[in-house]
């Protein structure tokens, strides 16, 4: 089999994992077990930021010290699948390092199309700014982070003010954005997986910014883009284009390629003991605590 044929096959397999309900159950089961044994954190689960069942978040705080920084994390799953409970390992791991962490749940397709899930995350962020202190959430700027589809959503909320403005927020919503394995530019009408989620171009929802690459600017918060060089679901070239576009716009941005890694290892590496964990945590710490975007 040629290299290009292997790549196409791998992309089909990864797309199948994202969209197939049976594989989704298996993935959820695997991710849920990752949180077992990760200690050093205090959990506050199922905090409602809206009225709908899916509009809840899980909060994680360090024990024995005040948080050094705060991160709001948006999970991936092709805008169709995923659950905040799968990422307890991420929340607990970062909390053990001294972070306050919010892992946010949101509505998925087919319950909503774009931009419904983006507005959910914006609503959650405004909730933390306005009411988080009553839950122990630090009253200071936070970083928005996401993986895969979650990186798309986090980037849109962090870079475009229109989503938070819908909830009466007119200040910068985040101090920075971290994207892992994210799709920052795409044409959904060309992709059978994306097209139902985003709808045809004549739909009214397309008035909202859809691609983060179109939202960069010198007045936007700094970004950290992390992408595996062997990602066959979302090509590393997508992150490279986003990096170049942000640079050209005068935005502070750092791009970090993870040699030999695919689509999922960058998110799994938040768990201690997984390959690449220490390197990933170093990147997160440099960005969140030092503001290193060089």
C-beta of residue 166 within 8 angstroms of C-beta of residue 178: no
Residue 171: pLDDT band with limits 50, 70, 90: very high
Phi/psi region, residue 224 (left: phi>0; alpha: psi -120 to 50; beta: rest), is beta
Asked if residue 10 has pLDDT above 80, the reply is no
C-beta of residue 251 within 8 angstroms of C-beta of residue 236: no
Distance CA 91, CA 181 (A): 18
Distance CA 281, CA 272 (A): 10
Helix axes 149-159, 116-131, angle to 10 degrees: 60
pLDDT tens digits along 11-47: 444 454 455 555 555 555 556 666 555 667 999 999 9
* CATH number, residue 220: 3.40.50.1820
Q: For residue 31, give its domain range.
A: 3-290
pLDDT tens digits along 124-146: 999 999 999 999 999 999 999 99
pLDDT tens digits along 75-114: 999 999 999 999 999 999 999 999 999 999 999 999 999 9
Distance CA 29, CA 183 (A): 25
- Our count of domains for the chain comes to 1
Stretch 165-181: mean pLDDT: 97
pTM above 0.85, yes or no: yes
Greater model confidence, 19 or 214:
214
What percent of the chain stands above pLDDT 70? 83
* Strand pairing category for 56-62 and 41-48: antiparallel
Beta bridge partners of 61: 42
CA neighbor of 154 nearest in space, from 197, 201, 198, 106: 106
């Amino acid at each position: 089999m040629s290299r290009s044929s292997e790549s196409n096959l791998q992309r089909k397999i990864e797309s199948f994992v994202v969209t197939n309900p049976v594989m989704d159950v298996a993935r959820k089961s695997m991710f849920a077990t990752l949180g077992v044994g990760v200690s050093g954190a205090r959990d506050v689960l199922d905090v409602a930021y809206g009225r709908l069942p899916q509009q809840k978040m899980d909060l994680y705080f360090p024990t024995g010290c005040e948080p050094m920084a705060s991160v709001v994390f948006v999970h991936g799953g092709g805008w169709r699948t995923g659950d905040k409970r799968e990422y307890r390992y991420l929340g607990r791991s970062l909390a053990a390092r001294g972070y306050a962490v919010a892992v946010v749940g949101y509505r998925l397709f087919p319950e909503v199309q774009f931009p419904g899930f983006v507005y959910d995350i914006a609503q959650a962020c405004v909730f933390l700014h306005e009411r988080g202190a009553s839950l122990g959430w630090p009253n200071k700027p936070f970083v928005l982070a996401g993986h895969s589809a979650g990186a798309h959503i986090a980037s849109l909320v962090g870079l475009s003010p229109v989503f938070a403005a819908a909830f009466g927020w007119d200040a910068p919503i985040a101090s920075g954005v971290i994207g892992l394995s994210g799709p920052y530019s795409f044409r959904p009408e060309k992709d059978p997986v994306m097209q139902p989620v985003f709808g045809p171009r004549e739909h009214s929802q397309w008035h909202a910014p859809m691609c983060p690459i179109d939202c960069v600017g010198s007045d936007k918060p700094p970004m950290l883009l992390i992408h595996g060089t062997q990602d066959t679901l979302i090509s590393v070239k997508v992150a490279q284009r986003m990096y170049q576009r942000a640079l050209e716009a005068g935005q502070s941005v750092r791009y970090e390629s993870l040699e030999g890694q695919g689509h999922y290892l960058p998110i799994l590496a938040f768990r201690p003991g997984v390959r690449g964990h220490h390197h990933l945590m170093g990147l997160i710490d440099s960005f969140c605590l030092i503001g290193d975007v060089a």
